[in-house]
Amino acid sequence: MNVTLKVLKRLCAELRGEERIMQSRITPKKIRRLHEKGLCYFLRDDTDTKVIGFGALWPTKREGWYELGTMWVSKNYRCRGRGWKVFEKTSELAPSDSVLFLITRSMKVVHMANFYKWEEAPLWQDSTQWKKVCEPWDQKSCEASRVLPKEGRLFYSMTLD
């Protein structure tokens, strides 16, 4: 798929309007890098002229671990199963033998994670896995910006020992 700078700028403008998305990563440059590595999914409208959904696998400091994040569907296209498609297609981009995790406070995403049999981690903010995977700035910036409030829920794509 051809993703021009104009398309990326338009997508970033849409994503910045969503309060539950971590804003520090929403730049055309960062999304272009993900696209070049095959770590993001763009859902286009029926005419293939507009991006109406997006999902990303954000690399972490732990090799082979990715955050399934920035899952988004344009407000005019929601409630038609497109969020499920973004979740599924983005997850499929993961390299083999990788571990995915997501953090959400959206009940729709919680339902998707449960449907795909992802494991929920209780007390995730104290989780050693969370601390091993995410940079300290992630935790602090999320708490400060309220992107990941205490009621947020953490899921892993596999069972953790």
pLDDT tens profile 92-149: 999 988 989 888 878 888 889 999 998 887 665 666 655 665 554 444 444 444 444 4
- Residue 69 lies inside a defined structural domain of this protein: yes
Residue 88 sits in which domain range? 5-156
Grade residue 58 by pLDDT with cuts at 50, 70 and 90: very high
> Whole-model pTM?
0.80
How far is it, in rounded angstroms, from Cα 72 to Cα 59? Answer: 18
- Residue 49 lies inside a defined structural domain of this protein: yes
- Residue 125 lies inside a defined structural domain of this protein: yes
How far is it, in rounded angstroms, from Cα 143 to Cα 99? Answer: 24
- Residue 46 lies inside a defined structural domain of this protein: yes
How far is it, in rounded angstroms, from Cα 156 to Cα 73? Answer: 22
- Residue 161 lies inside a defined structural domain of this protein: no
- Residue 91 lies inside a defined structural domain of this protein: yes
Question: Rounded to the nearest 10 degrees, what angle do helices 82-92 and 107-115 cross at?
Answer: 50
CATH number for 25: 3.40.630.30
Distances (CA, A) of 156 to 98, 108, 110: 11, 16, 11
Number of domains the chain is built from: 1
Task: Give the three-state DSSP class for 99.
Answer: strand
- Residue 48 lies inside a defined structural domain of this protein: yes
- Residue 61 lies inside a defined structural domain of this protein: yes
How far is it, in rounded angstroms, from Cα 53 to Cα 139? Answer: 26
